Structure 1
Amino acid sequence: MKLYLDVARPYQPMLRRAPYPESLETRKEIEKNINELLHMDVIRKIGHNEMGEITTPVLITWADVKSRLCGDFRALNNYTKADRYPIPRIPHSLDKLAKDKHITKMDCMKGFHHNGVKPKSMKLLRIICYMVIYEYTRMPFGINNAPAHFQRMMDTIF
Structure 2
Amino acid sequence: MLPLPRLEESCAIWMLEMPSQCLSVHDLSMKVYKLIKKLLEKGLVEHSESPWASPIVIVLKKNGVDIRMCIDYRVVNMFIKLSNYPLPLIDDLLIGFESAMWFMGLDMASGFWAIRMTERAKLISAFICPFGHVQWVHMPFGLKNAPLVYQAVINNCLWGFVRIPPEEEAEVDQDVLDFLQLECQRGVVPEEKVPALTDTMTVFQRNIPMPSHMGPVLGRSSYIDDIAHGAASWDQLCEDLNKLLFRLRYWNISVSLPKSEFGKQSIPYLSHEISAEGIRATPKIAKGVQDLPFPNTL
Asked if these proteins are the same fold (TM beyond 0.5), I'd say yes
TM-score scaled by structure 2?
A: 0.44
Shift of 1:41: 1.3
Query: 1:98-113, aligned counterparts within 5 Å?
Result: 99-100=99-100, 106-113=106-113
Q: RMSD of the alignment, in Å?
A: 2.5
Q: What is the match of residue 34 of structure 1?
A: 36
8 Å Cα contact 1:45-1:133 kept in structure 2 = yes
Shift of 1:95: 3.0
Post-superposition CA distance 1:45-103 (Å, at most 9, x none): 23xxx342112112244434554322211111101111132223445424345655665
In the alignment, residue 156 of structure 1 is paired with which amino acid?
A: N
Q: What is the match of residue 82 of structure 1?
A: 82
Q: What is the match of residue 270 of structure 2?
A: none
8 Å Cα contact 1:69-1:141 kept in structure 2 = no
In the alignment, residue 19 of structure 1 is paired with which amino acid?
A: L
Where relative contact order (Cα < 8 A, 6+ residues apart) is larger, the structure is 1
Q: What is the match of residue 69 of structure 2?
A: 69
Shift of 1:20: 3.0
Pick from 20, 23, 41: which aligns with 2:24? 20
Q: What is the match of residue 55 of structure 1?
A: 54
Shift of 1:43: 0.3
TM-score scaled by structure 1?
A: 0.78
In the alignment, residue 17 of structure 2 is paired with which amino acid?
A: Q
In the alignment, residue 116 of structure 1 is paired with which amino acid?
A: R
* Mapped partners of 1:111, 1:102: distance in 2: 25
Identity rate, percent: 20
- Which consecutive unaligned segments of at least 5 residues does structure 1 have? none
Shift of 1:28: 3.2
8 Å Cα contact 1:127-1:134 kept in structure 2 = yes
Pick from 3, 14, 18: which aligns with 2:11? 3
In the alignment, residue 86 of structure 2 is paired with which amino acid?
A: P
* Mapped partners of 1:141, 1:99: distance in 2: 37
* Mapped partners of 2:36, 2:118: distance in 1: 21
- Which consecutive unaligned segments of at least 5 residues does structure 2 have? 1-8, 159-298
Task: Report the secondary structure of 1:19's partner residue.
Answer: coil
Shift of 1:44: 1.0
